[in-house]
Amino acid sequence: MGVLRNLLVGSPVRARVVPFLIFAGLTLFQGLLGPGSLYWVYLVKTILGAALIALVWGAVPEMRWAWSWQALVVGVGVFVIWVGADPFYPHLETLTRVLEAWARRLGLPPLPVPGVTKAWNPGADFGAGSPVARGVLVTRLMGSSLVVPPLEEVFYRSFLYRYLAQHRFLDMPLRQVRWTPFLVTAVVFGLGHREWLAGILCGLAYQWLACRRGRLGEAITAHTITNLLLGLWVVGRGQWQFW
């Protein structure tokens, strides 16, 4: 781990990019390594993601939770949009099928569009109320609420946003607004989610918060609040499609 830590903290780019890429890369294997891999790969990447956060914590000073009423409002508001807007626009799998159909009609090779994994439903796979199902739910809630926010916010809102504006990204204050990187980062963030439109609005809200407050902490907190509320909604209402 010492070698990995030295590799990561030796570069401000690697410290902000590599942990996210490892975490996101493991997502591609969920469900591909056998039926149970949808769940055990998530456990592995959550543990590894937490370890990577610990490794780079001292080298990424903006990776700190911070509380404010704005973070609470944005976090709750994004959750409401994510759930409330869901029935009113086509999701990523629909857009994927449309793109694939266009490619076939034009005689093009298959396009590198993102796939959509099977929705979580540990109660159906392991038995409702079983210890395994409960463990899976706890893992998902902890991973999405405590591991995902710092990894994604540091990559998108701290690194990508500023790097698109200028390659010496650390010289650019988080408070500074550059509209092209602002919009591009939100779109890239949104297209990484099944609920792409809500994801874009989510990215805009978190980026606004980071720029408004001049630090990343409130965006991390807002992201944590959104993901926690969404996880509780999924578990409480059985709305597994959001996972």
Distance in angstroms (rounded) separating the CA atoms of residues 201 and 16: 23
What value does the mean pLDDT take over residues 125-148? 94
| Pair of tokens at residue 4 | 């990995």
Distance in angstroms (rounded) separating the CA atoms of residues 199 and 92: 11
Confidence band of 129 (pLDDT split at 50, 70, 90): confident
Higher pLDDT, 213 or 112: 213
Higher pLDDT, 42 or 95: 42
What value does the mean pLDDT take over residues 167-184? 97
Q: Which residues contact 155 (CB under 8 A, 6 or more apart)?
A: 16, 17, 19, 20
Confidence band of 111 (pLDDT split at 50, 70, 90): low
What value does the mean pLDDT take over residues 60-73? 96
pLDDT for 118: 63
E strand or H helix that includes residue 23: helix 12-27
Burial of 45: CB neighbours in 10 Å, binned 0-12, 13-18, 19+: buried
DSSP 141-210: HHIIIIIHHHHHHIIIIIIIHHHHH-SSGGGS-TT---HHHHHHHHHHHHTTSSSHHHHHHHHHHHHHHH
Higher pLDDT, 105 or 204: 204
> What is this structure's pTM?
0.91
pLDDT for 139: 96
Whats the size of the chain, residue-wise? Answer: 243
The predicted-structure confidence for 161-171, as pLDDT tens digits, reads as follows 999 999 999 99
Residue 48: which of 25, 16, 67 has the closest Cα?
A: 25
Cβ-contact 152, 20 below 8 angstroms: yes
Burial of 32: CB neighbours in 10 Å, binned 0-12, 13-18, 19+: exposed
The percentage of residues in the chain with a pLDDT greater than 70, rounded to a whole number, is 94
The percentage of residues in the chain with a pLDDT greater than 90, rounded to a whole number, is 77
The predicted-structure confidence for 16-38, as pLDDT tens digits, reads as follows 999 999 999 999 899 888 878 99
Is residue 120 over pLDDT 90? no
Domains of the chain, residue spans: 64-242
What value does the mean pLDDT take over residues 173-179? 97
What value does the mean pLDDT take over residues 193-216? 96
How much is the mean pLDDT over the chain? 92
- Between helix 37-56 and helix 131-142 the angle, nearest 10°, is 40
pLDDT for 98: 75
Which three-class secondary structure state does DSSP give residue 57? helix
